[in-house]
């Protein structure tokens, strides 16, 4: 299981004041890891809500999008000495209860990056698009664009 000595939870957020506090709270109650919200130039109270729920907030001065926010979080994690970073979205799409399952392949040395997906929570359009993609390619992937990921130190270093 992730521990505060080695793992950090990163949550990119843009205008997620309605959900970010609950997500941060769920993660903090369940896992013994620091939570960092990367506030991607929100115009609402996202940063304040995340901070009041117990997260460290990294406010961006230029909107970078989800991937830019994740890279900012990865750089922060590396500077702070963390060996594992776990990311999830601030909108409640991902279940913090499954962070342990995401972490397991890293702990076993079986992967450098693990991508989790909750396809049943995706919009109908997204479900259709992925079904079409699977049919065209024959690949059995659920959602490689999911923001629910775990990175080991080697992957963090390359991706940051």
- Looking at the predicted structure, is the pLDDT value of residue 20 above 60? yes
Ranges 45-59, 96-110, 142-156, most confident: 45-59
**Once rounded to an integer, what is the mean pLDDT over residues 55-60?**
98
- Cβ neighbour number for residue 55 with a 10 Å cutoff: 28
- Cβ neighbour number for residue 54 with a 10 Å cutoff: 14
| pLDDT tens for each residue of 88-142 | 999 888 889 999 999 899 989 999 999 887 656 566 776 777 677 778 877 666 6
Single pTM value for the model: 0.86
Using an 8 Å Cβ cutoff, are 160 and 78 in contact?
A: yes
Give the model's pLDDT for residue 94.
86
96: closest CA among 32, 46, 40, 5? 32
Map residue 27 onto helix, strand or coil: helix
């Amino acid at each position: 299981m992730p521990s505060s000595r080695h793992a950090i939870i990163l949550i990119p957020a843009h205008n997620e004041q309605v959900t970010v506090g609950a997500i941060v709270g769920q993660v903090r109650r369940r896992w013994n890891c620091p939570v960092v919200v990367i506030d991607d130039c929100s115009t609402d109270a996202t940063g304040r809500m995340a901070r009041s729920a117990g997260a460290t907030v990294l406010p961006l001065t230029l909107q970078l999008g989800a991937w830019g926010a994740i890279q900012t979080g990865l750089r922060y994690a590396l500077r702070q000495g963390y060996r594992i970073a776990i990311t999830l979205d601030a909108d409640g799409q991902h279940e913090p209860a499954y962070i342990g399952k995401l972490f397991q392949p890293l702990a076993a040395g079986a992967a450098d990056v693990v991508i989790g997906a909750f396809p049943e929570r995706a919009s109908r359009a997204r479900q259709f698009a992925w079904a079409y993609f699977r049919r065209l390619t024959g690949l059995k992937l659920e959602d490689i664009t999911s923001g629910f990921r775990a990175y080991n130190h080697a992957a963090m270093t390359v991706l940051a």
